[in-house]
A and B are shown apart, each in its own frame.
Chain A
Amino acid sequence: MSGINVTIDEKNCVANSGETILSVAKRYDIEIPTLCFHPSVSVYGACGICLVEVEGNKKLLRACATEVWEGMKVHTKSERAEKARKLALELLFSDHTGDCLPPCMNACPAHTHCQGYVGLIADGEYDAALALIKEQIPLPASIGRVCPHPCESACRRKLAEEAISIAALKSFAADWDLGREESYLPEKQPPTGKRVAIVGAGPAGLTMAYYLAIKGHSADIYEAMPQAGGMLRYGIPEYRLPKAVLDREIALIEKLGVKIRCNVKIGKDIAFESLEKEYDAVYLAIGAWQSAPLRCEGEQAEGVLGGIDFLRRAVQDQPTSMGRRVAVIGGGNTAMDACRTAIRLGAEKVYVLYRRTRSEMPAEDIEIVEAMEEGVEFKFLVAPIRILTENGHVAGIELQQMELGEPDDSGRRRPVPVEGKTETLALDTVIAAIGQKVVAEGLPVKLTDWNTIAADAHTYLTDRKGVFAGGDGINRGPGIAVESIGHARECADIIDSYLNGDLIPRTEQYLVKRDDLTAADFADREKLPRVRRNVIPPEIRRTNFEEVASTITEEQAKAEAARCLECGCADYGECDLIKYGQRFDVRPDRFGAEPHRRNGADDMVNVHHNPDKCVLCGLCVRYSDEHGDGSLGLIGRGFDTQVRPDYSLSKPEDHLEELKGCAEICPTGALIEKTTGKKVNTVMRRQFVK
């Protein structure tokens, strides 16, 4: 039989008679996107994603349904076809409600797979949970203890009662791993022979080293301080993060082959240029090591200390020069660390002075509560006017009474002075914990107006070839540790691509997110309060640097993890819709569509049905018709059409195989086979667990 000659995207193809464009293209490795076609069921032609342009035809044709003819010239990627395809995708997304990824993961600056590892912990698979965490975070035991956990702030379980204790679960899994004889070490790829110098052994530098090592590159870290860990070691008090935990996590990174050279300052002990010469790439993770000044009279007096300087000295068991009466200025976590450290170092009176009220404090609530329990006195709505001195030493502070005015750019109400109302406090020490500054002078890279290292937002490249930068030391300056880790994790992939000769910048991928849920949507949930860590009583803990909170037990962890609502789509990773959506960089928001709330998801025995994610491709209906008893059908018309089961002829239990097949053929997360007794389903497992 002689074939039919067609060209598809300029490629000569020989087709069989009766063959469709889609089928021929597939044989010739030309991908034509489609959502509603599947070889096991009849052609339907609904999705409009496979539209192609055929020369001589005024209309676009559906590749799934159009049989080829001799001499046909097909263009699958013509501007018009791509436009129609993209529009169809954007329309689908404009009517698609759900969360591709869970809110916790979206909120995490390191994009940690929270839902995944929480689910695995619930399933009792701690090794898989730990491995999954380490896909993003190489220091989970440490981060689990210190992270202000944006994931928990975003946790949707809050709408039911309280957020999942994601951070506690992370340190549970990490501690479990550290307690094993053989802690988890990822598999390393074969050595590439490429070498990268990393400046700074803080969260960013260590993260970079860890992921480069996995990729087979050799990573050397140069650290100015005597030990690795950066701010995790020198900025976080022992009672929050025991350094033995940090040491063990760093040791695992070293076990991967990472070399850490401490007490080496670049620009002093080793010239920056020699790094550039010796290595294939350089990563600057220098952190932010200077306390921000108070900018008030008397600041130069003896007894005025920087918050992070104070903490660093305390960690190193160096004299802090702290007196009996101490005031910490600031409302963030560093201020809390400083005041609680001061208590433990024996201060008789410790104040925290904050210019707004408690509800505006950036510090974590638990830190504030615990500081109060330990005897710290909080004075709100006060701002320092001047530091009073005697013989060049702090003797007190004059404070301006403040009140809250109009909201500022951050949305918090701006403190404004109350005319004529001041007070003074007698003090020996003032600790300024109002921020950190980057000290990047001396490095031959371009700096920003804030004296931070200028790094490209998409590549983390500085103005020097092959020199990348991340962590607290770049652009907008210091943030939280997990943010530095996130930077470094992303940048590790970029440096890897750079070392492979083709630098691939990071891209923002389209994701479906929803923000329309309220407490009413979870009203029927059983109320299950979140786990509380065991905490040493204040009168005991204020006297020493023992870790205040203990790791939760296995029993607690499992119960806590089981509370997870599993907001992220169980089909993400295998969903055709989001795959195409990301490829075509869709922007469905531009339609300004009104929300489409459909009535009721229904459970089909062994399959969960979510009509908000259905694209009405008809695959399940055809599958059920052609391979089953036709128990699925379409009801309603037009925009309100829905897939619905009809068991009028038999019992739902008689359709398990048919429904399972329907779930398998569903291109999105609209039909998902239920997992029995497990949180993490097969699709997520394929995606997350290697």
Chain B
Amino acid sequence: MRFTVGMGSCGIAAGAQKTLDALKKALGERSSDIPVGQVGCIGMCFNEPIVEVITDTEHYYYSKVNEEMAEEIVASHLKDGLPAESYLIPEEDMDFLKKQTRVALRNCGVIDPEKIESYRERGGYEAITKVLKTMSPAEVVGEVKISGLRGRGGAGFPTWFKWDAAAKSEGDEKYVICNADEGDPGAFMDRSLLEGDPHAVMEGMMIAAYAIGAAKGVFYVRAEYPLAIKRLEKAIKQARTAGFLGEHILGTDFSFDLEIKAGAGAFVCGEETALIASLEGERGMPRLKPPFPAQKGYWQKPSNINNVETYGNIPWIFREGGEAFAAMGTENSKGTKVFALAGKVKRGGLAEVPMGMTIREIIYDIGGGIKDDKALKGVQMGGPSGGCIPERLIDTPVDYENITAAGAIMGSGGMIVMDETTCMVDMARFFMDFTQKESCGKCVHCRIGTKRMLEILDRIVNGEGRDGDIELLEELGRGIIDGSLCGLGQSAPNPALSTIAQFREEYDAHIRDKKCPAHKCKPLLTYAIDPEKCTGCNACAKKCPAEAIHGEKKKPHEIDAAFCVKCGSCESACRFGAVLVD
């Protein structure tokens, strides 16, 4: 029997360290033969801290385990040899895992990310061994081509093509770079993978390095991911000791080493040319393409840049074969994709599914449906660069082409579920606020255009929208896409444009009728009391911070609109549903 505790950033934030300590304490002398290990995040963020008890025959998952529960769980297993039933993760929550197909995340939540042995027990470093001993660089590129793997960072560019271009570029000095500058709000698949299985990503980079002829690799990790950086540092040290990094790896002519650069957290540095500028110590601003990084990248040398998840898939592909990977997914989108499921969904977290699964399956079968059983309104896919897929299109299969056709992008895999209480204009405003702040300032269209779009969205949600604002947003949006150098600008207008395309009537309601149908935009709300329902209990008036509610005891009260600050306190204070919001 052994215990593991989910010790990703999410678990630790939920108190996993205390849980782990409590487990050890409860085990007392038994901890010498019953190990308590740490694992990365298994993806069920809604259940953290998660404790797994592995016996000879069974796996038991416990959710939200605090110190007291930890004691009880230990006691139960040790004394009775039985699980502490009441703390087990409910069966239906386990659907979250069961419906997934885990390739990139296969070790996350399973192995101890700080132990190379733990990785090797699960087949780690077998792929690089096989590659170095039996394959030529060209064959490696060929295998990736067979797998059909496409870049998981957002654009979905065929991975083999990049590798091939970098391999064919002249130069005795080349680089492989791992883009771990995960910046989309709500996206954390890269962090989870780096925290939960750093060796896999490193092994993927080694294989890429061998394929293109690079001897150096760089992790560009945002500084906001200290745990990922710490675990990578450990993993690199261990790999060096084990002979997987350094000179003449596994006795071959292949030499390779890795270093980590911490990025200062500018969103645009996820764009590969800006990332290179940042790596070189310059201001993080995109550069003109061509030349592409595969021709002239880091320090003007041929460089291959892939995202964390892309590299994370590589060892599996070389162990199981490209064809096995290609057997999953759809015609043009092979394999699996990790999604960060968030928003108004019952079970949020990281889910890896085969390409081609429908959005509905992900939301309902894995995510368990909409919180409080409200009505689904749409799904924002691809983060601030993506678009909104309305409810009527949720049977769209997730693959690059279908998601694009539905008006969004795959992006890095952010999936934010929205229900009837989400205001689409406000949502567009939120993302525009993000991209506007993250614009590097180089291109005019992006630098000023996103600011103007934000101002317009701001005035719409504040009830000051003007006739023609929608058209102005569309014109600006198209212009920014046309005029921007990099992906940030080229995609920044997407949330606004796609919500206008799908939910134009909500914009109209804000501008023309000065109403927010989702009752989200405060300046547009009016509060009133239904005299039929009001019992005159005075509860609302007591809660009103603006003293805007008056009325005699046991008689219907009234709200003075001139003083109402639209805080909603009255609505939550009323036990009779007498406060009307419009």
Chain A, 43-66, contact with B by CB distance < 8 Å: what is the 0/1 string?
111111101000000011010010
* Contact between chains at B444 and A639 (CB < 8 Å): no
A193 to B485, CA, bound (A): 57
A67 to B438, CA, bound (A): 30
Contact of B438 among A43, A44, A87, A638 (CB under 8 A): A638
Interface centre among A80, A88, A638 (most CB of B within 10 A): A638
A641 to B285, CA, bound (A): 12
Contacts A94-B452, A592-B456, A637-B441 known; A45 to B447 CB distance under 8 Å?
no
* Contact between chains at B452 and A91 (CB < 8 Å): yes
* Contact between chains at A48 and B448 (CB < 8 Å): no
* Contact between chains at B482 and A51 (CB < 8 Å): yes
A546 to B454, CA, bound (A): 65
* Contact between chains at B483 and A84 (CB < 8 Å): yes
Whether A465 sits at the interface, judged by CB under 8 Å, is no
Among the stretches B193-201, B471-479, B537-545, the one at the interface with A is B471-479
A637 to B435, CA, bound (A): 12
* Contact between chains at B436 and A639 (CB < 8 Å): yes
Whether A634 sits at the interface, judged by CB under 8 Å, is yes
* Contact between chains at B455 and A592 (CB < 8 Å): yes
Contacts A51-B482, A84-B482, A84-B483 known; A637 to B448 CB distance under 8 Å?
no
* Contact between chains at A639 and B441 (CB < 8 Å): yes
Contact of B448 among A45, A49, A91, A590 (CB under 8 A): A91
Closest to A81 in B: B482
How many whole Å from B369's CB to the nearest CB in chain A? 39
Whether B562 sits at the interface, judged by CB under 8 Å, is no
What are the residues of chain B within 8 A of A636 when measuring CB–CB?
441
* Contact between chains at A615 and B444 (CB < 8 Å): yes
Whether B296 sits at the interface, judged by CB under 8 Å, is no
* Contact between chains at A45 and B439 (CB < 8 Å): no
Question: Could you tell me which residues of chain B, from 404 to 424, have a CB within 8 Å of some CB in chain A?
Answer: none
Chain B, 448-477, contact with A by CB distance < 8 Å: what is the 0/1 string?
111110011001000000100000100110
What are the residues of chain A within 8 A of B459 when measuring CB–CB?
592
What are the residues of chain A within 8 A of B440 when measuring CB–CB?
637-638, 641
Whether B443 sits at the interface, judged by CB under 8 Å, is yes
* Contact between chains at B445 and A84 (CB < 8 Å): yes
Contacts A46-B485, A592-B459, A594-B455 known; A88 to B445 CB distance under 8 Å?
yes
Contacts A636-B441, A639-B447 known; A593 to B483 CB distance under 8 Å?
no
What are the residues of chain B within 8 A of A594 when measuring CB–CB?
455
What are the residues of chain A within 8 A of B450 when measuring CB–CB?
639
* Contact between chains at B472 and A638 (CB < 8 Å): no
* Contact between chains at B452 and A48 (CB < 8 Å): no
Whether B266 sits at the interface, judged by CB under 8 Å, is yes
How many whole Å from A591's CB to the nearest CB in chain B? 5
What are the residues of chain B within 8 A of A615 when measuring CB–CB?
444
Contacts A84-B483, A88-B483 known; A638 to B437 CB distance under 8 Å?
yes
Whether B283 sits at the interface, judged by CB under 8 Å, is yes
Contact of A87 among B283, B290, B436, B475 (CB under 8 A): B475
Question: Could you tell me which residues of chain B, from 535 to 570, have a CB within 8 Å of some CB in chain A?
Answer: none
How many whole Å from B432's CB to the nearest CB in chain A? 12
Contact of B455 among A87, A590, A593, A633 (CB under 8 A): A593
What are the residues of chain B within 8 A of A91 when measuring CB–CB?
444-445, 448-449, 452
A51 to B479, CA, bound (A): 11
Which size class do A's interface residues fall under?
35 or more
Count, A-B residue pairs, CB within 8 A: 101
Whether A95 sits at the interface, judged by CB under 8 Å, is yes
A47 to B455, CA, bound (A): 21
What are the residues of chain B within 8 A of A314 when measuring CB–CB?
none
* Contact between chains at B288 and A616 (CB < 8 Å): no
A530 to B441, CA, bound (A): 44
A83 to B479, CA, bound (A): 8
* Contact between chains at B475 and A46 (CB < 8 Å): no
* Contact between chains at B476 and A46 (CB < 8 Å): no
Whether B122 sits at the interface, judged by CB under 8 Å, is no
Contact of B443 among A48, A65, A67, A592 (CB under 8 A): A48
Contact of A88 among B444, B466, B475, B485 (CB under 8 A): B444
Contacts A592-B466, A593-B455, A638-B437 known; A87 to B449 CB distance under 8 Å?
yes
Contact of B482 among A47, A80, A591, A634 (CB under 8 A): A80
* Contact between chains at B456 and A591 (CB < 8 Å): yes
Question: Could you tell me which residues of chain A, from 88 to 109, have a CB within 8 Å of some CB in chain B?
Answer: 88, 91-92, 94-95
What are the residues of chain A within 8 A of B283 when measuring CB–CB?
633-634
What are the residues of chain B within 8 A of A87 when measuring CB–CB?
445, 449, 475-476, 479, 483
What are the residues of chain A within 8 A of B437 when measuring CB–CB?
637-638
A339 to B44, CA, bound (A): 94
Question: Could you tell me which residues of chain B, from 503 to 541, have a CB within 8 Å of some CB in chain A?
Answer: none
Contacts A80-B482, A634-B441, A637-B439 known; A593 to B452 CB distance under 8 Å?
yes
Whether B98 sits at the interface, judged by CB under 8 Å, is no
How many whole Å from B546's CB to the nearest CB in chain A? 28
Closest to B485 in A: A45
How many whole Å from B298's CB to the nearest CB in chain A? 19
* Contact between chains at A46 and B472 (CB < 8 Å): no
A48 to B449, CA, bound (A): 12
Besides the contacts A46-B485, A51-B483, A593-B451, what 15 more A-B pairs have beta carbons closer than 8 Å?
A44-B442, A45-B288, A46-B443, A48-B444, A59-B482, A60-B483, A87-B445, A88-B444, A91-B444, A91-B445, A92-B448, A593-B452, A615-B444, A637-B440, A639-B448
Q: Which residues of A contact B (CB under 8 A)?
A: 43-49, 51, 59-60, 62, 65, 67, 80, 83-84, 87-88, 91-92, 94-95, 590-594, 615-616, 618, 633-634, 636-641
A-B contact list, 14 entries, CB within 8 Å: A48-B443, A48-B483, A51-B483, A88-B444, A91-B445, A591-B472, A615-B444, A616-B441, A634-B283, A637-B439, A639-B436, A639-B450, A639-B451, A641-B441
